[in-house]
Amino acid sequence: MRGKLNVKTIVILVILLVVTVLGVIGIKTVQTFMTGATSDAEPLGVSAASSEDGKTATISWTSDKAAISKVEYGTTAASLVLMAVESDSTTSHKVSLTSLRPNTTYYYRIRVAEDVFDNNGIPYSFKTKGENTMTPTISSTPLVGPTIAAGSECKRDVDYNKDGSINSVDILYCRQQGGKIVSVSITPKVTPTVSSAASSCSGNIVDYNSDGIINSIDRINCLQSKD
């Protein structure tokens, strides 16, 4: 009796196991039928393209079998909390990601029903473009002044570098172009000798110190220079 009971128990357990397995297979079959989630739906040629302003991106791939897929994405590989879902079953997939941040790295994976596809165990990734990707071009061409013959004199009243002002930079430019600075000899001004007989230095109207101005200093020079 005990042996028969053991056989019955074993038979029941086997039946329950078979029913369970068939049930799981049946559920998977229904899911596969409803979503197309088979190995034929594995993404091929996955790529990401960012818009110029960096606010949207398009994830593209193909599959051997038509399926409705979704892209799970986020700014870290461990937090793919955002989602974009396809509207139709297709073999040529294009999923648009919106409201992205410019100049930011995003991570993503593709899900078909319960199957998750990524880059060999790690999420795919891409970087959005910046809002301003144009870099202003700055000309490095130096200002061009007149041709200066080597050894010629650098004049102090010429705007050699053509910057609109005449200063020491023009002399430096002239020297860099092969010009030379000519030493200028300065003749000291000579205060004329004033004869005591010729003038009393009062009511002075002569520029005795030759500075171009007639003032009290000329009278002092006159008094100092009297014989």
pLDDT at 139: 46
Distance from C-alpha of 130 to C-alpha of 43, rounded to nearest angstrom:
28
Who wins on pLDDT, 38 or 177? 177
Backbone angles phi, psi at 17, to 5 degrees: -65, -45
CA distance 44 to 39: 11
Q: What is the mean pLDDT of residues 158-171?
A: 79
In this structure, CATH architecture of domain 39-127? Sandwich (2.60)
Q: How confident is the model at residue 37 (pLDDT cuts 50, 70, 90)?
A: very low
Q: What percent of the chain has pLDDT over 70?
A: 63
* 227/219 Cα distance (integer angstroms): 14
In this predicted model, what pLDDT tens digit does every residue of 51-86 receive, in sequence order?
A: 999 999 999 999 999 999 999 999 999 999 999 999
Query: Does the pLDDT value for residue 18 go beyond 50?
Result: yes
Per-residue pLDDT, 33: 46
Question: What is the pTM for the complete model shown?
Answer: 0.44
Q: Which of 24-33, 79-88, 165-174 has the lowest average pLDDT? A: 24-33
Phi, psi torsion values for 117, nearest 5 degrees: -120, 130
Contact residues for 90 (Cβ-Cβ < 8 A; gap 6+): 66, 67
Q: Where are the domains of the chain?
A: 39-127, 142-185, 189-227
Identify which of 58-62, 133-137, 201-205 has the greatest average pLDDT: 58-62
